[in-house]
Each structure stands twice: as structure tokens, then as C-alpha cells.
Amino acid sequence: MEPTSWKHDLSGLYSFFSDEEVARLESARRQVDASTATIVYSVYENPFAKSGGIFAVADFYLQALLKAGRDVLLLSPYHSRLVTVPCESDVTKLADCSVQFDGRSVATEVFEHRRNGARWILVKADGFFEAQHGSSPTDPYVHADDHRLLIDSLFFSQAIPQVLAALHLTQNILLHVQDWELAATALTVKCALLDETLESAALVLTSHNPYDHELLISDLHSLTQRGEFDGQDPPSVYQQMIPLFDAPVTTVSTTFAAELTSDPLQTEHFTNHLQHIFHQQGLVGVNNGLFGQLKAPFSDEAYKQLSAKDSQLILREKLAKRTAMLELLAVYQDERILGTLDGGQEKPLAELPDDIPVYLMFGRMDPGQKGFDVLLRAIEQMPRGSAKFILTPIVTDFSDQFYADMCRVAQECAGDVAIYPFRMQQGYMEAMAGATFAVMPSLYEPFGGATEPYLSGTPVIARATGGLVQQIVDVRQDQKNGTGLLFRETTGPAAGEWRQIQTTHNPQERMAFPCYQSMVNELVSTLTHASEVYRNDSHQYASMLANLHVQAQEFSWEKTIAEYQAVYELATS
């Protein structure tokens, strides 16, 4: 939707507040000046607790806001048991406060971490934010008990107004919270406005993904005795909290905003319970900027020569990146690596012929989203020796069948497949730069990281979904401006098929579903076409390389700020 078409709907407030209270809340919201307000960006991840790309979004957006002269700080939990917990020298204690939660008073400490001049405010309390999982020692979301994440999230939402008051920040606040973990802030801040802990504040929500969580009445009552549930099924966090926000829900690309109410994967599975609220509250897509410095990956002379129809220099520079990658990976030692890469005919990897493409897939090992299993099924259909594949999944569960499937394919396709199931301390950026193509066969992708390979000089193959549609120009549709290739299954899902795919825990059994099988087949066809372009049409491949920097420039945090500012103005008008 267009932000200008959105109108305030106060019906959600009346589920918790009286007519007189709603009037007071509306007055407090309108006292916020969107152009001068302190932006309090609240996020569950921080420099000491990272999972996917949400920390990167917060970090880059914060830096852009500071550069634009905005007053901004970030609020995040102090995750005390992760291996990356801050050292004493990393933080400065600012204040103590008391948070009423679940019928008791919880002593809470407030710390500050400075990062590139920005203020990260970390909130610590004994018994909370204690995620500690052996297979994912830096992930703040992973608990042995899933309900624990909900409790921690609710407590943090309850603590935010008290922390702001302890920092003497009580008026002209624009709270920009992220995902379901912080959504209850819409309720706790409004309660704090009524009890005069805060004076004036407005609230905006960004949902980076379709995740949500069940909310029992007992969970809600840990925050307040207000509110009650109608119907038999307990609502979710989003169902209860989205109607309390002061602006449309935002998400991280315009395409994904549309898919949340149109794509069967979302409407029939992930967000089926939110369709009415999305239509009522509205959705606005705000594209992220770049996850890295905008710098041309090739020399000025290479671009100049290509414009004169000479592609040799840019191809040589790309080949140099490939050589650096192969030399490093050839000596990379780690017992966790699955499979091997070789140069063909039992030659070392460093002797891989120049015309054999190397494909890279990176990201979290998330069977519900990222599509590592889709690529594995495609690899099984590719002729042996025709291409090499590097996969760098960040694995959190080494016991599930998707990881076992990776192990099997790595063994059966030894020489063609190498899997690095961990955060690579070296070689990652070399692989990003040296790969022939990056591959992103995502089942859905709110924004996606296609621009990350662009900054390293690598085109991208991706399933046409979410933000990837906006980032990738398919060379088959636009030879002049192409930056990669998009594919999409030709067989649409039957009713309920996406839900069945998502709940199938054996990755090979997903091939029984026509929609999924078509997805794999289209990826095989696209990989085959990409390989042919690389081997047989060097000028077309060089043209893709040259277009990457131009396309990356379409995404900037300055544009992101301007689009969020329009939403901030809605929240305060």
C-alpha cells in the first residue's frame, strides 16, 4: 500500500483502554515531532548476539541515521550466556531500574556499548536473556524451551519504558521496534504513557520475516491485567499487538509486502492467521540499503574497456579473484568440512580449468526459507564434473535430517561439492568474490542478500521471490542490464501444498510434491543456462559483471531513511 492512503484505526486500542485513555494516548502520540524525535530502534540482536541479517540492518541503518544528523539509540537485551558476551571493557554501566513483571519486581541494569560513535543500550536482568545452545553459541533466539524466548521478549518489552525513563528520555520518542519479539512494546509503552512514566511517544513496527508466536492469557498477564481473549484459540503476539501500533506494518522490501497477502506460502501457511490484520492495518515495503561499502569490484580501466566492447580486462580481474579463492580453499583445513573440491581427473583444486563454473550458496541453514535442500536436489541432477559447488550454511542443529542430507550429498558428489557448515573465519569473502555465480534458491526472501555478492563482483541466480525480484535483473530478459538469472517453478502449488512441504522433515520427500519438484527442475535448467553463458558467451558474462555496481547503487540507506520517515510522519500525524 501507499503510506499516503493509510488512516489511523483506533479499534485495537479499545481492546485494552477506555475512551478517556485512548484520547490521552492519541494526545501523547501527536505530541511527537517525527522530524526531531529521538529514534529508539529496538532489536533483539546486537554486536554481541547475531543470528541472521537483522543485526546488519540495525547497524547500517543506525549509521545512516547518525550521518543524517538524527538523534538515535538502539535498545537490545544483554544476552549474558552467549560465547560472544561483552567483556567489561566493552560496556559502561549507565543506570539501574526496577521492572514489574509477572507479579514481581525485577532488578535491571542498563549498559551502554559504543560502536562507531553509535549508542547501543543493553538491558540486563538475572534470569532473562540466557540463551545458550551448544550448536549455536552466538544465536540469541535458540533456547531448549521455545516458551523461554517468548518470556524473555515480553520482559524486554516491559523493561523498555523503564529503561528510557532511567536514561531521562521520556518525551518526543519514536520507538521503531523489530519483529514479534519486540511487538509487545506497543502495549507496554502505551501503559507507560498512561501512568506518566513516559510523556510522549509513537510506535512503528518492522517485520523482517513472517515469524510469530502464540500468546496465552497467562503470558499477557505477565505484562498487564488489561485485555482479554475472544474465541477458543489463543491469539498470537502479532494478532494482539499489531493493532496497537501507530502506523502501517513495515517490512523490508516492496515485493515481500505484497507477498504477505498474496503468495500462498504466506497466506496459507506462515501468515494465514494475520490476513485480516494485514488488510486492516496495512503493509508498507521499505527496501534495505547495502550490506557493505559501495565500491566498484573491478578497476575503472576494466569498465572503460568493456564500454569499448573489450571484455578481456574485466574477465582477467574476475579470474584473479577466482584464483585467489581456489588457492585459499585448496589448503583450507577444518574437520567440520563436508565433501571436497578438486580440479577434475584427480587434480588439485588450484588446477581447476577456467571454464568450469563455481557456484556459491551462503546463509542460515533454515529449511523453511533458504532452500539449501533445493540446491542439493539440483546438484544431484547436474552432470558430474560440469560445475563445482560451495555451500556455507550456518547450522544450528546437527541432528536433523537436512544436515544428514547435506552429509550424504557431499559424500556422493565428492570432488564437486564442499560444505562449510559454520561461520568461515577465513575464505568467505574470497569465495564470495571468486565464485562464478552466487545461488539463492529461497522459498521466500523478505529482502535477501543479492547485493552482497554484487559488491564482491559476483552475479546471482535466485528464485524469483521477495526482495530478490527487485535486486536481480535477469539477463535472459534484459541482456544489456542483466545481473544474474531468476527462476520460478512452472507448476503452482495445490491447496495446502506449501504447508505440507514446510512440515515435511525429510528433505528428499519434498520431491513428492509437484510444486517443489518443478522448483528443482527450474533451478537445474537455470544452472545449466548459467554455465553455458559462462563457458560460451564471455562478453555476456562480462556485461553482467559490469552491471553489478550499477544495480547495487539502486539500494541505499539514504533511500531507506526517507521511506521510513514517511511512515514516522504517519505515526505522529
Per-residue model confidence as pLDDT tens digits over 54-97: 999 999 999 999 999 999 999 999 999 999 999 989 999 999 99
The helix/strand count (H/E) of the chain reads as 21, 16
Q: Which option is the CATH number for 3-289+558-572: 3.90.420.10, 3.40.50.2000, 3.20.20.70, 3.90.950.10?
A: 3.40.50.2000
Residue 434 CB neighbours (<10 A) = 26
Which residue, 283, 156, 153, is CA-closest to 212? 153
pLDDT digits (tens, 9 = 90+) for 158-189: 999 999 999 999 999 999 999 999 999 999 99
pLDDT digits (tens, 9 = 90+) for 389-411: 999 998 888 889 999 999 999 99
Start-to-end Cα distance in the chain? 18
Q: What is the mean pLDDT of the chain?
A: 95
- The DSSP symbol for 414 reads T
Percent over 70 (pLDDT), the chain: 98
- Banded pLDDT at 338 (limits 50, 70, 90): very high
If you average pLDDT over residues 129-137, what whole number do you get?
79
| Identity of the amino acid at 288 | N
Q: Do residues 38 and 7 lie in contact, with contact meaning Cβ atoms separated by under 8 Å?
A: no
CATH architecture classification, 309-553: 3-Layer(aba) Sandwich (3.40)
pLDDT digits (tens, 9 = 90+) for 419-439: 999 888 889 999 999 999 999
Q: What is the pLDDT of residue 285?
A: 97
Indicate whether 1 pLDDT > 80.
Answer: no
If you average pLDDT over residues 450-472, what whole number do you get?
98
- Banded pLDDT at 132 (limits 50, 70, 90): confident
SS3 category, 128? coil
DSSP assignments along 254-317, one per residue: HHHHHHTTT-HHIIIIISGGGHHHHHHH-EEE-----SS----SS-HHHHHHHHTT--HHHHHH
What phi and psi, each to the nearest 5 degrees, are found at residue 497?
-70, -40
| Identity of the amino acid at 9 | D
If you average pLDDT over residues 302-327, what whole number do you get?
96
Cell of 51: 543470528
- Banded pLDDT at 232 (limits 50, 70, 90): low
* Residues forming CATH 3.40.50.2000 domain(s) in the chain: 3-289+558-572, 309-553
The two beta strands, 460-463 and 484-487, are: parallel
If you average pLDDT over residues 221-230, what whole number do you get?
84
- The DSSP symbol for 33 reads -
The number of C-alpha atoms within 13 Å of 335 and in the hemisphere containing its C-beta is: 0
Q: What is the pLDDT of residue 142?
A: 86
Q: What is the pLDDT of residue 485?
A: 98
pLDDT digits (tens, 9 = 90+) for 25-62: 999 999 999 999 999 999 999 999 998 789 999 999 99
Element (H, E) at 22: helix 19-30
Dist CA 200 CA 78 (whole Å): 26
pLDDT digits (tens, 9 = 90+) for 474-519: 999 999 999 999 999 999 999 999 999 999 999 999 999 999 999 9
